[in-house]
Amino acid sequence: MNESIYSIAIDGPSGAGKSTIAKGLAKRLGIVYVDTGAMYRAIGLKVMRMGGSPDDSPFVIGILPSTSVSLGFVDGIQHVFLDGEDVSGLIRTQEVSNAASKVSAVPEVRYKLVELQKKLAEDTSVTMDGRDIGTYVLPGSKYKFFVTASPDARTIRRYRELEGKGRLFGMTFNELLLEMAERDKRDSGRDCMPLKKAPDAILIDTTYLSVEESIDAVMKYIKVGG
pLDDT at 226: 46
Q: What is the pLDDT of residue 73?
A: 80
Mean pLDDT across 104-131? 92
Residue 2 lies in a domain: no
Task: Give a yes or no: residue 1 inside a domain.
Answer: no
Does 129 have pLDDT greater than 90?
Answer: yes
Residue 211 structural domain: 7-219
Which helix H or strand E contains 81, and what residues bound it? strand 77-82
- For 170-190, write each residue's pLDDT tens digit: 999 999 999 999 999 999 999
Three-state DSSP state, 222: coil
59 in any annotated domain: yes
- In this structure, what DSSP letter does residue 201 have? P
**How does pLDDT run across 23-35, given as a tens digit for each residue?**
999 999 999 899 8
Residue (of 8, 4, 5, 3) closest to 222 by Cα position? 8
Answer yes or no: is 155 within a domain: yes
Q: 31-53, pLDDT tens digit by residue?
A: 989 989 999 999 999 999 999 99
Say if 224 falls within a structural domain. no
| Length of the chain measured in residues | 226
For the chain, give the mean pLDDT.
93
**CATH (domain of 81):** 3.40.50.300
One-letter amino acid for residue 153 of the chain: A
Total domains in the chain come to 1
- Residue 226 within any structural domain of the chain: no
Q: Minimal CA–CA distance to 102: which of 38, 160, 68, 55?
A: 55
